[in-house]
């Protein structure tokens, strides 16, 4: 799993192993997981859907690429969509819409252009876990493809950390609400 923001992008095989680990944790702890994606455009959902028995624990995902979808479907407040507020609303709304007790949302700018005065590599994560939402801010280096791969890997890592919570084995370095790392 990702230990810090400077870690390399995982191989496809490593990412598949992480998704299998998440599948096992979700099954063991009776978790229902959902995703909301902007910059990753459904690629996180595709990775989770490949894992074992995903139909039992993965409720589904919402791809909200356009601002209007974020505002109208996921109840993101008007304003910047690459923000903590957007990630929070996306995670909470997705969990509600898809009946999940654990959801991750990602919104960001992969590049190469700057959007809304947000530099490329900027990503906000929102994690809904049984009624509360935590956020995480990361800035990834690299080309857009590397930013996307890092975002997907970090999303799976966050889901694993939260799914472990049911076993009492949560990583103490997992960010709390409002905590920012870069």
Tokens found for residue 142: 């690299």
CATH number, position 61: 3.90.950.20
> Each residue of 46-79: pLDDT tens digit?
999 999 999 999 999 999 999 999 999 999 999 9
Residue 37 lies in a domain: yes
The pTM is what? Answer: 0.87
Helix ranges, 73-170 (H): 84-98, 144-164
Range of the domain at 116: 12-167
Q: What is the pLDDT of residues 120-147, one digit of tens each?
A: 999 999 999 999 999 999 999 999 999 9
Number of domains in the chain: 1
């Amino acid at each position: 799993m990702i230990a810090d923001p400077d870690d390399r992008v995982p191989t496809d095989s490593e990412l598949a192993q992480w998704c299998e680990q998440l599948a096992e944790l979700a099954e063991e702890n009776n978790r229902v997981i959902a995703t909301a994606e902007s910059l990753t455009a459904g690629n996180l959902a595709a990775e989770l859907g490949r894992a074992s028995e995903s139909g039992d624990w993965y409720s589904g995902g919402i791809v909200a690429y356009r601002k209007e979808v974020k505002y109208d479907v996921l109840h993101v407040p008007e304003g910047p969509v690459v923000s903590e507020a957007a990630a929070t609303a996306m995670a909470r709304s997705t969990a509600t819409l898809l009946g999940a007790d654990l959801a991750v949302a990602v919104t960001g700018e992969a590049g190469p252009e700057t959007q809304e005065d947000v530099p490329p590599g900027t990503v906000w994560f929102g994690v809904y876990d049984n009624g509360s939402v935590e956020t995480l801010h990361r800035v990834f280096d690299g080309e857009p493809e590397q930013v996307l791969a890092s975002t997907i890997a970090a999303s799976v890592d966050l889901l694993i950390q939260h799914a472990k919570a049911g076993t009492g084995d949560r990583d103490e370095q997992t960010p709390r609400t409002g905590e920012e790392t870069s």
